[in-house]
A = this chain, B = another copy of it.
Amino acid sequence: MAGDEAAGSSTRPRAAVLLTGSELVTGVIADANGPWLARELTARGFEVAHLQLVGDRPGDLEAALRYAATAGSALIVTSGGLGPTADDLTGEVVAEFAGVDLVLDEAMRERIAGIVAAFPRAGRDPSALDAAVRKQALVPRGAVALNPAGTAPGLVVPTDAGPLVVVLPGPPRELRALWPAALETAPMRTLLAAVPPAAVRLLRYYGLSEAEIAATLRALEESRDIGGVEVTTCLRRSELEVDLRPRPGAEDAATWLAGQLAERHADRLVSADGTSTDELLAGALLAADLTVGTAESCTGGLLAGRLTDRPGSSLYVAGGVVSYSNEAKVRLLGVPAGLIDAHGAVSPEVARAMADGARAALEAELGIGITGVAGPDGGTPTKPVGFVCLCVTTSSGIVLARDLRLPGNRADVRDRSVDAGMHLLLRAARSVLASSPPSPAAS
């Protein structure tokens, strides 16, 4: 679901993203730069007209540049094709598109030569190396060159009648490193000064459907005109993200709408400012000075992996046990074998015993047990594929349990179980925070 904005009705300047590389059009790798650039451009107030992925073919690249200009883009950002080899041709094609020739930037040549000298390359003779360095130091006349984060400089290329073209290297680390410098160049600053601010609001829900939000939006439309607010909803990691993006003049309507949406579904609101569940959980655990121990069966370590994604997570993650076999549940978590016999390994009773076992084995204040049928095999009529039992127990006596029937394939069931585990831990940590007296250290 998204706003029904027609092309041309927006007053925001348009931008296009152009991602080059033959490995992108054969599907050998999935592009990582497009979504990142789209978010950056959207956050800065541009309307992204399209993203296009093309192979390392000069004709296709040139056609894509012309198409973006025709589609009314004031800005084109490209990634890739800045390396030293013959198929790296973005600089050349963009210069032709801008109608200028390439000139050698001597200072840049020296800078690149210095970088390249630091790592000798196998099988490359000195004259080939010189030619490669020289090639990378060629800059379209009138363009601003950006110092490389790898060996490839970026380019900010004004064109006479057409869009501004920002040329960035393909490796995501290098692209992200050069972007702030591109924003600081004079032509970019001039362009950005003409872009109205974005003022995006992101509401995050867990357990809310798109249909429910759609019904609420329809009801709200009757009390106030919200046509100026572009609403995009998106299910990600089992969460519903609702993105409110006011067109110029609709800022007040967006603020009102955000307040209404937060209030009407307060029970399932995770955050009204886009803060992620992972951040909220880390914050709650740190605030309450709690550690977590995990006991995972069907998720096989993915919950522990997600909990330890964050730097500094050793402050609140004690560790975990992946008890894929019943023996491991008994031996490492102290789950009574009789409990497994009586209720089955996938049961609320075993999930709770796993949570208690994780707390004991890892000396943690919070324990979580997850056991389920991830599939594709192992389902029964009463415990089908997707049946997952979760339980969180705390040393202060809180017990939170959920039994789910999750849709999807094996990977979906595992991912959604991890999501459910994160939210159950967040609820438990908040409960502990709410029930604990103010810390004496705070007085």
A positions within 8 Å CB-CB of B = 1-8, 21-32, 34-42, 48-60, 63-64, 67, 70-71, 83, 85-87, 121-124, 173, 209, 211-212, 214-216, 218-219, 230, 232, 234, 236, 241, 243, 245, 294, 296, 299-305, 307-309, 311-314, 317-325, 327-328, 331-332, 361-363, 375-377, 408-411, 414
Contact = CB atoms under 8 A, between A and B. Distances in A.
11 contacts: A3-B56, A3-B87, A23-B243, A26-B245, A27-B38, A29-B35, A123-B214, A299-B305, A302-B305, A319-B322, A319-B324
A137 B274 CA distance: 37
A100 to B, nearest CB: 22
Nearest to A293: B328
Contacts of A305: 299-302, 305, 414
A59 B6 contact: yes
Nearest to A361: B332
B30 A35 contact: yes
The SS class assigned to the A binding surface is: mixed
Given A122-B209, A124-B211, A2 B21 contact: yes
A208 to B, nearest CB: 10
A8 B57 CA distance: 9
A409 B243 CA distance: 29
Given A27-B34, A27-B37, A122-B212, A87 B56 contact: no
Given A230-B22, A324-B308, A123 B211 contact: yes
A317 B307 contact: no
3 closest residue pairs by CB, A with B: A123-B215, A7-B59, A300-B308
Contacts of A375: 311
Contacts of A38: 24-27
A107 to B, nearest CB: 26
A241 B211 contact: no
Contacts of A24: 35, 38, 51
Given A6-B59, A36-B27, A328-B362, A122 B64 contact: no
A363 B214 CA distance: 53
Which of A26, A64, A320 has most B Cβ within 10 Å? A26
Contact of A232 (B26, B57, B83, B317): B26
A332 B321 contact: yes
Given A123-B214, A215-B122, A49 B39 contact: no
